Amino acid sequence: MIFEMDYRQLQELENRIRQLPNHAERVINETLHTGGIELLESNVTRLIPKSNRNKNAPWYREHGSVKHAKDANWSVSKKEHLGFMLKSRGGAANKRGSFGYLVFPDEGRGQVEQSFTERATGVAVPKIVAKLHGKLIETIGGNM
């Protein structure tokens, strides 16, 4: 997935990182791994489409999840150095408890392309960058 950032925001972030040569990496990782993951997950969850299917029907109880992804813990996050990955829990869509089907509307398979993760990322990234700025400024102020 590709997202865009304002170049001025990136320059401001770079200047703040330079002011914390020995601490910026830790602050960035902590911010991304807590607030960043939560922000992106909540923005994606808000945009996940909810079908009209009755998930309490016997077939669903036998073959799949009885919860809609929007109402369940649908994601798994992986913390990476200066980043993170957020993906659907469970892998293949035919596995019980899996929300792997969430990728299909984004790619336009089976339904009209909805791009809910792309739209959610577009909303979450500026908020995550603002959190990074705030934490870096807070840390700079605390060290001086």
* C-alpha to C-alpha distance for 5 and 139, rounded to whole angstroms: 23
Among 4-13, 40-49, 61-70, the range with the most confident prediction by mean pLDDT is: 40-49
Residue 121 lies in a domain: yes
* C-alpha to C-alpha distance for 23 and 6, rounded to whole angstroms: 24
Per the structure, the complete domain to which residue 20 belongs is given by: 7-143
| Sign, CA torsion 111/124/99/92 | positive
Among 48-52, 110-114, 123-127, the range with the most confident prediction by mean pLDDT is: 123-127
Task: At 143, list the tokens.
Answer: 């060290």
Residue 1 lies in a domain: no
Q: Concatenate the DSSP letters of all residues of 5-28 into one string.
A: --HHHHHHHHHHHHT-TTTHHHHH
Query: Using one digit for the tens of pLDDT, what is the confidence trace for 75-121?
Result: 889 999 999 998 887 666 666 667 766 766 565 455 566 777 888 88
The pLDDT of residue 38 is 95
Residue 124 lies in a domain: yes
Residue 2 lies in a domain: no
**What is the residue type of 17?**
I
Band of the pLDDT at 144, cuts 50, 70, 90?
very low
Q: How many domains does the chain have?
A: 1
Residue 131 scores a pLDDT above 90: yes
pTM for this model (two decimals) = 0.76
Q: To which H or E segment does residue 83 belong?
A: strand 83-88
Query: Torsion angle of alpha carbons 79, 85, 2, 88, nearest 10°?
Result: -170
- With left for phi above 0 and alpha for psi between -120 and 50, is residue 49 left, alpha or beta? beta
Residue 27 lies in a domain: yes
Residue 52 lies in a domain: yes
